[in-house]
Amino acid sequence: MEIFISANLLWVLFVILISALIFFGVIFNYHWNHYGINESERKVAKVIYYFVSALILFAIVFFIGLYEFENVI
Amino acid sequence: MSFNLDKDENVVYEARRNWFYVWARSVTVFFSILVPIVLFAIFKSVDFIKIEGNSDALFMILILVWFFVAWNIIFIFWTNHFLDILVITNKHLIDIEQKGIFSREVSVIQLSKIQDITTDVNGFIPTIMSFGDLSIQSAGSHTRFVIKDLDNPDFVRSKIKQAISGEVPVDKQ
């Protein structure tokens, strides 16, 4: 059985993940700004969350590009 | 601060829940990342399903998507943990518990109405790491007010008793 997954579908998945990042970013920002007790804790939380999320998303973009490039060839 | 203090009210002490169970849940979610990796290894070794194109890149994408979901779950655990706090003031005991992303409970007890404070450290890990439950019986209430997995509950109990008796010097925030 052969399965073919279009690169466009993967880009749609990537857009869904970006939307999820924006959604959770808004939620976490609200919590940090309204309920966070310590200023330094807020900054550390923001940096860690966005840095790790960006790393994962860049890796996803890289592999989607690799998948699309090799399928075109 | 997410709560308002009276004019002559000041924070005496702040206590947090112990990090152990948050770490345990986070590690469990982290190890769930092994599931797609194992599935990937099984798909590579099985011939009846073939994926056109670069299957390695495709599986890496799926693994990373799983990473992203797991990362957000772990971050929710930690945010909920850091937003849980017990604040002892010279007048009140304020317990703030973030139960979920959209669920938050703030309980306030007047120090003057506290009748009984009980600590319960139960189990090997809580004993080694000194965390446990703090339960408070207040006047006029039939139910006990319980704060679970508090760091150093005996020390917190002594702080509450000192705040009730007015012995503790107050730290202004």
What does the pLDDT look like over B99-109, one tens digit per residue? 888 888 888 98
ipTM above 0.95, yes or no: no
Name the average pLDDT for chain A.
86
Check if B14 contacts A (Cβ < 8 Å). Answer: yes
For residue B170, pLDDT over 70 is answered with no
Check if B142 contacts A (Cβ < 8 Å). Answer: no
Tokens 């938050």 — which residue? B104
- pLDDT < 50: residue spans in chain A: none
What is the pLDDT at residue B59? 85
Chain B residue with the nearest C-alpha to that of A63: B57
Rounded CA separation B20/B15 (Å): 15
Check if B68 contacts A (Cβ < 8 Å). Answer: yes
What is the pLDDT at residue A1? 64
What is the pLDDT at residue B146? 87
Compute the average pLDDT of residues B123-132. 92
Check if A35 contacts B (Cβ < 8 Å). Answer: yes
DSSP A8-47: HHHHHHHHHHHHHHHHHHHHHHHHHHHH---HHHHHHHHH
Rounded CA separation B169/B29 (Å): 43
What is the pLDDT at residue B172? 44
Question: Cα distance from B123 to chain A (closest Cα, Å)?
Answer: 31
Between A and B, how many residue pairs show a Cβ–Cβ distance under 8 A? 86
Question: Cα distance from A41 to chain B (closest Cα, Å)?
Answer: 9
Rounded CA separation B85/B98 (Å): 9
Cβ–Cβ under 8 Å, residues B17 and B150? yes
Chain B residues whose CB is inside 8 A of the A37 CB are: 1, 14, 85
Chain B residues whose CB is inside 8 A of the A28 CB are: 75, 79
| pTM score over 0.95 | no
For residue B168, pLDDT over 50 is answered with yes
